[in-house]
Structure 1
Amino acid sequence: MSTYGYRKHQGSRYLAPFFLLLAPLLSLLLYASPAHADGGFPIIAVLHAGQRPEGIAVDTSTHLVYIAYEFPSLVVGFDPVRGNVRWKVPIGDSTTDVQVDSTNHHVYATGTSRNGRTGYFAVLDGASGKTLFSTDTTPGDDGLAFDTKRQRAYVSSSNSGIIDIFSLRTSPVGNISALSSTLKVGSHPQALGVNSRLGRLYIGDIASNTVTVIDENSNHILATIPVAAVPVQPIRVDEASGHVYVVCSTGQELDVIDGHANKVIARVPVSPLPEGVAFNTATGRIYVADEGHNDTAFNDVNSGTTITVIDGQSFAVLGTLQVGRAPDGVEADPALRRIYVSTEDSDAVVEISDSPDLPLTILGATLGARSRRWRVPEIPQSLPGGASSHSAKHTPPL
């Protein structure tokens, strides 16, 4: 059984007496209980709850964070406001990905057996971790996407070239069942993304270096879009703008697709072998995890240590931020102004302030990056659940 720890980064010691005197008054004025986020800037806290964290999902309604750990296989439900782990559930011998539906608060996870011959898909209750539904899937390097409108899960197997489709149904008493089918698109489909408004499924093929657009209602191919080399899981979709964000690992770039025109509108260079991406941020920025090695490498000396920060309007690279070794999954909670990054080789999940004043580095120079268009209130600031942040510099996990 693994152990976990949650370390808050404390603010300046010179401010401590002041805040001790001020705390009773603030509690009377704001009626807010102490929250886990009272800590440093830009790194607010670090979570250790397993080994080799990968995928991250955030319920933007409850603010709970869900993390897929490879070894030992775990999905972890974490409450960042209270600073504690709610639950842990294994999915096979290695958990490969996790998603969440912020409307019904169900968590969707994939895993694989140790020998790689069996894949798994499970639906969990987001509050308790209780397994609501589980089934086997086609074995392979699984990608996962979920359509909240159609209550449909897609699980890819790049080894077999098959995508499993699970159309979920919930009975009046809460039991979940699924109608299953398969879809064959390309030779090595891996990365998946969904636009539930348009009814579009996006499939990234790591052999042909393309993204195929599928009509979810008919399963017909609408377009095949060339992208840079090796589009990897996950594909993120902004349903408001229609933008589709594709991280291309070997191509070393983030490709942005116009989901209405089905064409690439931006190719953004990033650090070597990137993987995760998050766009739904309070500052309107895009964050790309610069993993620095492929998924077969463990504690590689060439592991990346940064996330690349991109302006969401111009797609200009603003700089990079040190977060820990081999950053992989990345996700945002815009209401809490938080970014969560899983750092595989550091066995940690890093909680970062989503601020326009992040100390970014460009060509070795430190830049306090600001954007007038996306200017947000200076910190410290009041956040949901009484969370707040203070200006103090801290280092990422080793």
Structure 2
Amino acid sequence: MRVIRFLLKGLGVLVGLIILGVIGFYVYLSTRPAPKTIKAVGIITPPAPSRFPLKFIDYMFVNGTKLYAGYTSQGLVAVIDTATNQVVAEIGDLPRTHGIAVAGANGFATASGDDTVGVFDLSNNQLVKKVPGGADPDAIIYDDKVRLIYAADHDGKTGTLIDPVAMSVVGTVPLGGVAEYAQADPQSGLIYQNLQDISELVVIDPQKQTVTQRYKLGDGTGPSGLAFDAANRRLFSTCDNKKLVVLNADTGQVVATLPIGSGVDGAEYDPVLRRVYASNGFGTLTVIQQDSADSYRVLEQAPTHFGGHSVAVDPATHRIYIAYFGSIAAYDPVPGP
């Protein structure tokens, strides 16, 4: 009995310490100074409640006046009007939704719950077809140059190529590593793909359906988010050891390595403002200014929301969207030096 009382007392102390730690952490988050490089402009309300206690958004994608958010926890894509920040439609039957891409009149969303890519009509937000997406499809992009949808298969370590008109698979590319985010080169049609487990970035020729080059990430490990400056031929790979690696897209040479925050997942590049963004799950957005193709400086580790791992930028308004759990915070950039 004495041992039981001792164990119960120890458990109580442990629980108390955990509660105090959580309270202290949230007090810290609430007392941080306001960001200088971004300005909060609103919170987007999540869609209807799910059967899960916590909601989770994985990727987001901006197309025109609509923001598409993949609610992994609810198995749906939320369609948000960027003028009002209101959810205007939900596209369901997409178990464990992740990424969204748009090609022509249709949207494409990965659903790792049934290993498919769901095709939906942009005009009425109705699901029209499901296409095989490989093993655990995650990120997805449209390669406009070669007119193909590319789905990065996380667990399958492959890339699935889909004809967006025929809505059918036309090829599979073995990658040799766990696939995270990808980017397509609008000039050549080549696809750049982060491989998380082996800390590589590979170059894919979608027409030959093969990997043509493998780039090492220098000091960066565990890459996830990937952004691309097509004009200057620079790739921005966010890594889980709190580094953003800048590479020459044509040669794979590492031209810069910059510090970012903890828990990074997403990356975006604004070519007009020449800013690189890294969204960090521990509640910051790393804002980096591009002075030239090979010169960069961190402007700020801007405070955001705890859990804010995913980022999307509206190319027309430059508004920044950061997903944290089931909500989306909207920010406008603040001009700086």
Aligned to 2:122: 168
Aligned to 1:17: none
Q: Is the 8 A contact 1:257 1:266 kept in 2?
A: yes
Q: Is the 8 A contact 2:118 2:127 kept in 1?
A: no
One-letter code aligned to 1:257: I
How many residues were matched structurally? 266
Partners of 2:45 and 2:233 in 1: CA distance = 33
Alpha-carbon offset, residue 231 of structure 1? 0.5
Q: Of residues 111, 116, 122 in structure 1, which corresponds to 2:71?
A: 111
Aligned to 1:136: 92
- Name the SS for the 2:273 alignment partner: coil
Q: Is the 8 A contact 2:185 2:230 kept in 1?
A: no
Q: Is the 8 A contact 2:134 2:158 kept in 1?
A: no
Aligned to 2:223: 274
Aligned to 2:108: 154
Pick closer, same or farther for the CA change 1:228–1:386 going to 2, 3 Å.
Answer: closer
Pick closer, same or farther for the CA change 1:132–1:321 going to 2, 3 Å.
Answer: same
Aligned to 1:289: 238
Pick closer, same or farther for the CA change 1:307–1:316 going to 2, 3 Å.
Answer: same
Aligned to 1:65: none
- Name the SS for the 1:218 alignment partner: coil
Report percent identity of matched pairs: 24
Whether 1:7 aligns to 2:35 is yes
Aligned to 1:263: 210
Q: Of residues 142, 147, 152 in structure 2, which corresponds to 1:194?
A: 142
Q: Is the 8 A contact 2:59 2:69 kept in 1?
A: yes
Q: Is the 8 A contact 2:236 2:267 kept in 1?
A: yes
Pairs within 5 Å for 1:70-89: 80=38, 83-89=39-45
Q: Of residues 178, 181, 201 in structure 2, which corresponds to 1:230?
A: 178
* Residue segments in structure 1 that go unaligned for 5+ positions in a row: 9-44, 46-79, 170-175, 292-303, 361-384, 391-398
Pick closer, same or farther for the CA change 1:280–1:105 going to 2, 3 Å.
Answer: farther
Quick check: 128-137 or 83-92, which moved more? 83-92
Pairs within 5 Å for 1:36-47: 45=37
Pick closer, same or farther for the CA change 1:237–1:106 going to 2, 3 Å.
Answer: same
Partners of 1:159 and 1:260 in 2: CA distance = 28
Alpha-carbon offset, residue 330 of structure 1? 0.4
Aligned to 2:287: 351
Pick closer, same or farther for the CA change 1:389–1:282 going to 2, 3 Å.
Answer: farther
Aligned to 1:380: none
Partners of 2:67 and 2:199 in 1: CA distance = 30
One-letter code aligned to 1:288: S
One-letter code aligned to 1:143: H
Instruction: Kindly provide the CA deviation profile for residues 99-139 of structure 1, in whole angstroms up to 9, marking residues without a partner as x.
Output: 001xx2211001133xxxx3121111112212221132332
Pick closer, same or farther for the CA change 1:194–1:358 going to 2, 3 Å.
Answer: same
Aligned to 2:160: 212
Partners of 1:338 and 1:122 in 2: CA distance = 27
Higher fraction of strand: 2
Q: Of residues 241, 264, 273 in structure 1, which corresponds to 2:188?
A: 241
Q: Is the 8 A contact 2:91 2:127 kept in 1?
A: no
Aligned to 2:20: none
Partners of 2:144 and 2:45 in 1: CA distance = 28
Partners of 1:97 and 1:349 in 2: CA distance = 16
Instruction: Kindly provide the CA deviation profile for residues 38-92 of structure 1, in whole angstroms up to 9, marking residues without a partner as x.
Output: xxxxxxx3xxxxxxxxxxxxxxxxxxxxxxxxxxxxxxxxxx4xx2324423256
Q: Is the 8 A contact 1:282 1:337 kept in 2?
A: no
Alpha-carbon offset, residue 269 of structure 1? 1.5
- Name the SS for the 1:336 alignment partner: coil
Pick closer, same or farther for the CA change 1:344–1:108 going to 2, 3 Å.
Answer: same
Whether 1:339 aligns to 2:276 is yes
TM-score normalised by L of structure 2:
0.71
- Name the SS for the 1:127 alignment partner: coil
Alpha-carbon offset, residue 358 of structure 1? 2.2
Q: Is the 8 A contact 1:243 1:257 kept in 2?
A: yes
Higher relative contact order (CA 8 A, sep 6+): 1
Q: Is the 8 A contact 2:101 2:140 kept in 1?
A: no
One-letter code aligned to 1:99: F
Pick closer, same or farther for the CA change 1:355–1:281 going to 2, 3 Å.
Answer: farther
- Name the SS for the 1:204 alignment partner: strand
Q: Is the 8 A contact 2:267 2:278 kept in 1?
A: yes
